[in-house]
Amino acid sequence: MSLMANAVQVQNAQSIQTSDGVAHGVSVAVIGVGLMGNKIARRLASQGASVSAWNRSADKATALAEVGIRAAPTVAQAATADVLLLSLSDAATIRATILADDVKELLRGKTVLQMGTIGPKESASLAAEVVAAGGRYVEAPVLGSQPEAEKGTLLIMVGADADPRDTPGDPVWPLLKALGQEPNIHYIGPVGTAAAVKLSLNQLIASLTVGFSTSLGLVQRSGAPVDKFMSILRASALYAPTYDKKLQKMLDRDYGAANFPTKHLLKDVRLFESEAAAAGLDTRLLAALKGVVQDTVDRGLADTDYSAVFDAVAHPEGKGEHQQ
């Protein structure tokens, strides 16, 4: 890197860290800086928060130095921040990461802000352990992906003992405002309720995408013009914008880089099925959805956009052709 480029990078990092954004002065460690965590960390830094980051693959955290985000070598060192924001894949990973003995003892007086998609019972169990360790737990799963995290327009569901906007000086509230803006932040109720709403929304992702894939597949097989089908669909009460977002990927059978990969959709469908069964709901449709998404993953499409379920629905004879 040239001296001039290096100077510009340092200047940019300094300007981000001294920004007078809505999260100015909040000390936060982002635990897990993969697809979403990376964008969340960058957004918070741009809004004035003092951000550190930890990731199991350390290179993902150290790469954030270009925007003034400090990489923490261990989770325990990241736990010096006032807020530990979790952007991790599942409850088991969360438990192994922040409830390990060397970290758990550091949670006293800290706030754990859990933003991943996990089950209501899992979230309540984690909350109980964090509180027992002297910490505070807030669940705040989001609807939206990397572009929305980058722009600060995520839809955020909050589960906590009280609405964080009603607590003066609460460090969680400015972080949420930086990521979602006030009209997009919804206090649902106690811990577990926001997790349930988020999981329910993700179930709709699977249902809508598999349903649209099935209809589109029949239209193609019949020889009817896809554009006519879409025109009628768009003019009807049946339309959802996600159909147009995924249409070209399905037509091209090119599912590209993922904002929300198929493997994560499979995890969420499995989790929803388990929660639905425990709640006494009929899970026959969920079992079928799970089978379609599992078949998609088995084709080698785990890391592609979840629109890849179209492959399993419309081209069942092609199983195995995408495997690496």
Domain membership of residue 2 (yes or no) is: no
| 3-class state of residue 204 by DSSP | helix
Domain membership of residue 258 (yes or no) is: yes
- In the predicted structure, residue 5 carries a pLDDT above the cut 50: no
Q: Which one, of 23, 85, 20, 24, lies nearest residue 52 by Cα?
A: 85
Q: Are strands 70-71 and 50-54 parallel, antiparallel or unpaired?
A: parallel
Q: Which of 174, 190, 206 is the C-terminal boundary of a domain?
A: 190
Domain membership of residue 36 (yes or no) is: yes
> Is 42 found in the same domain as 121?
yes
Q: Percent of the chain beyond pLDDT 70?
A: 92
What confidence score (pLDDT) does residue 10 get? 40
> Is 83 found in the same domain as 38?
yes
Count the Cβ atoms, other than its own, within 10 Å of residue 265.
27
What does the block give as tokens for 283? 């899970």
Active site residues: 198
- In the predicted structure, residue 175 carries a pLDDT above the cut 70: yes
Using the 8-state DSSP alphabet, how is residue 20 labeled? -
CATH code of the domain covering residue 66: 3.40.50.720
Q: Which of 190, 210, 225 is the C-terminal boundary of a domain?
A: 190
> Is 167 found in the same domain as 43?
yes
Q: Which of 190, 224, 245 is the C-terminal boundary of a domain?
A: 190
Q: Are strands 83-86 and 70-71 parallel, antiparallel or unpaired?
A: unpaired
Give the alpha-carbon dihedral of 132, 119, 261, 286, to 10 degrees: 170
What does the block give as tokens for 199? 């999981």
Domain membership of residue 4 (yes or no) is: no
At 16, the pLDDT band (50, 70, 90 cuts) reads very low
Rounded to the nearest integer, the mean pLDDT of the chain is 92
| 3-class state of residue 113 by DSSP | strand
> Is 180 found in the same domain as 125?
yes
Q: Which one, of 77, 17, 22, 35, lies nearest residue 53 by Cα?
A: 77
Show the domain range for 255.
Answer: 197-314
Count the Cβ atoms, other than its own, within 10 Å of residue 278.
12
- In the predicted structure, residue 308 carries a pLDDT above the cut 80: yes
> Is 179 found in the same domain as 137?
yes
What confidence score (pLDDT) does residue 20 get? 67
Domain membership of residue 139 (yes or no) is: yes
Q: Which one, of 42, 54, 149, lies nearest residue 94 by Cα?
A: 54
Phi, psi of 309 (to 5 degrees): -60, -25
Task: Compute the distance between CA of residue 49 and CA of residue 21 in angstroms, rounded to an integer.
Answer: 8
> Do 159 and 193 meet the contact criterion of CB atoms below 8 Å apart?
yes
Q: Report the number of distinct structural domains present in the chain.
A: 2
Summarised one tens digit per residue, pLDDT across range 207-264 is: 999 999 999 999 999 999 999 999 999 999 999 999 999 999 999 999 988 888 999 9
